[in-house]
Amino acid sequence: MRLPFLAVRTRSADETISLGSRIGSLLRPGEVVLLVGDLGTGKTTFVQGVASGLGIATRPRSPTFTMVHTYDGGTYPLVHVDLYRLDTSNEVLNLGLEELFEPPAVAVVEWGEKATPIVGDHYLELDFAWASGDADASSEASDDVRNIRFLPVGRWRSRMGELSDAVRAWAGTEVS
Ligand code: ADP
Ligand code: MG
């Protein structure tokens, strides 16, 4: 069973980068974060923050043809996966990603819903969405507002208190 415990709101790309950086600094070897959400909702921007939170100097970009990029030089290697080009989640079984998700690496996967066949029982899912459709967002009058929901699976459920404390600064919406 999965329940959304936590939702935050960012109002600029920079805020999403700081949020990512905060989460990046909490990640432990072998952990996987799945990013779900439409094109342009800020997944890659978030990954840039994660890299910075790990102390990685390179700024991740949207991969074009390669689906995987590993960034070294930080606390842990960051495996950045983008499954946009995958047509079916079955194809993910042929990529051999599992071995990249082993400690000491930490992994962040865009279009993460396509990775669920291979990620096992423990992962953090983050759902990105434009806030413009929200009834309570009309006052924000900006295309830069994003709602980000945290959906912990398995072991991550016991870390929601820690996560909730960590992201207090971005708390913008109530649990839904
Ligand atoms: P995705 O990887 O989900 O397709 P990107 O991170 O590549 O999205 O692009 C998000 C775009 O939206 C960037 O151009 C970024 O500058 C812009 N943006 C505006 N507001 C935000 C926000 N609150 N969070 C993240 N990106 C934002
Ligand atoms: Mg992207």
The larger pLDDT score, comparing residue 120 to residue 65, is at 120
Q: Name the pairing type of β-strands 123-130 and 146-153.
A: antiparallel
pLDDT tens column, 39-86:
999 999 999 999 999 999 999 998 767 799 999 999 999 999 999 989
- For ligand 1, atom 5, the nearest C-alpha belongs to 42
Give bridge partners of residue 68 from the DSSP assignment: 81
Listed residues: CB within 5 A of ion ligand 2:
43-44, 62, 110
Residue 175 pLDDT class (50, 70, 90 cuts)? very low
Whole-number Å distance, alpha carbon 22 to ligand 1 midpoint, is 17
Beta strands in 30-145 (DSSP E): 32-36, 68-71, 78-82, 106-110, 123-130
pLDDT exceeds cutoff 50 at 176? no
pLDDT exceeds cutoff 70 at 157? yes
Q: For the CA atoms of the chain, what is the radius of gyration? A: 15
Identify which of 104, 129, 136 has the alpha carbon closest to the alpha carbon of residue 46: 129
The model carries a pTM of 0.93
Whole-number Å distance, alpha carbon 24 to ligand 2 midpoint, is 17
